[in-house]
Amino acid sequence: MDLKQLQYFVVSVESGSFKKAAEMLYTTQPHISKSIKNLETELNVQLLERKARGVEVTESGKKIYEYACNMLVDASRIHAAVEEDEKVLRVISAAGDRFATLFGAYCEGRAEKNLKVWYRDSTVEEIFPSLHHRTFDIGFFYADQRQMIAYLQMIKRKHLEFTALGQTEPILYVGPQNPLYGAESVAERELKSLKYVQIQDFYNRPEMHLMEGGMDYLDYQNQRQVMVTNNRSLLTQIILTTSLANISSARFPDILTGSKDIHAIPIRGMKNRMTFAYVKRLHGDLPEEAKQFVRMFFAAAEAQTYRSEERRVGKECRSRWSPYH
């Protein structure tokens, strides 16, 4: 038995499948399955029940899970003590490509400081267990008000801490095939007539729509979604070549702004704003490099006015960014 096997087991329990665990841990599904099978053989107990749609922890596995979590936490503390004098920054983000560009600029400016950087572009669903298991130090994401209800529950269960950095309004992104392509703005009621493509995330799951609350733009997307993808490049191509639309953050949109033919359209009467935030482990300080990046982010947010051009009619869609302090 080794720590890697325990990590595979814990992440499989929390993700509910070998496939998701493999994606989060940068390995293959067969390797995860084989490692856990070897662990079960060594302990002479079945830890997970294999099912068609994933895995479920057994009663014996629940007991081992608690011990495994404690052992992994202790091991991470040992590693942290060894790396105490090193400059390390481990970031996981579901904030899109603009955020990644900003992060890249920060790292470029720190290149001479011998900074070690790990950066993963991910989903919100993967951020929380990755922080919980100390694979990463800080995670960034944005969410609307109803999403936050679910996310805050997950954050609490994983013993994480949430800090809001600011708010921005959601924006409608469309391509040339969409009937609203030439619009200067759209009313919220017009969103009901569109069909959507979305980035895959926790909120896409059917059970999320059993939550209390009125209809909002994410309901429109989920009820009328035609396609869900975890590939942002594919998302961009779908917007460009079909009539499918997407609603995302004006601050860090999933739609890549490198395409001049994708138009960003303000939504009139939209009261539901999106919060941009970071999460970290509840008990423990952020690494100094992470603190410096957050400070740099605030400076960049205040120094710039982020715009998405609605090129066809020559209008500007200004992102009203409200940073918290």
- Alpha helices in the chain, H assignment, sequence order: 3-15, 18-24, 29-43, 59-82, 97-109, 124-132, 145-157, 217-223, 232-241, 288-303
Q: At what angle do helices 97-109 and 288-303 cross, to 10 degrees?
A: 120
Of the chain, the end-to-end C-alpha distance in Å amounts to 46
Residues 239, 247 contacting (CB under 8 angstroms):
no
Among 310, 218, 298, 189, which residue's Cα sits nearest to residue 261?
A: 310
Q: Yes or no: say if 237 and 258 are a contact pair by the CB < 8 Å rule.
A: no
SS3 per residue for 80-92: HHHCCCCCEEEEE
Domains of the chain are 3-82 (1.10.10.10), 88-161+276-303 (3.40.190.10), 168-274+308-323 (3.40.190.10)
Q: In this predicted structure, what is the pLDDT of residue 211?
A: 32
Q: Which of 155, 126, 181, 104 is nearest to 14 (CA)?
A: 126
Query: Which pairing describes strands 196-199 and 116-121: parallel, antiparallel, or unpaired?
Result: unpaired
DSSP single-letter state for residue 245: B
Mean pLDDT per 10-residue run, the chain (325 residues)? 87 88 84 92 92 89 88 72 67 79 79 76 84 85 81 86 84 91 89 82 39 41 66 84 83 51 86 83 79 80 45 40 53
Which residues neighbour 262 within 8 Å (Cβ) at sequence distance 6 or greater?
173, 174, 175, 236, 239, 240, 255, 256
∠ CA 173-177-178, nearest 5°, is 50
* Residue whose tokens read 């040992």: 78
pLDDT on residue 216: 47
Q: What is the structure's pLDDT at 178?
A: 94
How confident is the model at residue 86, as a pLDDT? 63
Report the C-alpha gap between 111 and 181 in whole angstroms.
42
pLDDT at 42: 92
Identify the pLDDT of residue 87.
72
What's this model's pTM, rounded to 2 decimal places?
A: 0.62
The pair of structure tokens assigned to 120 is: 């993963």
pLDDT of residue 84: 55
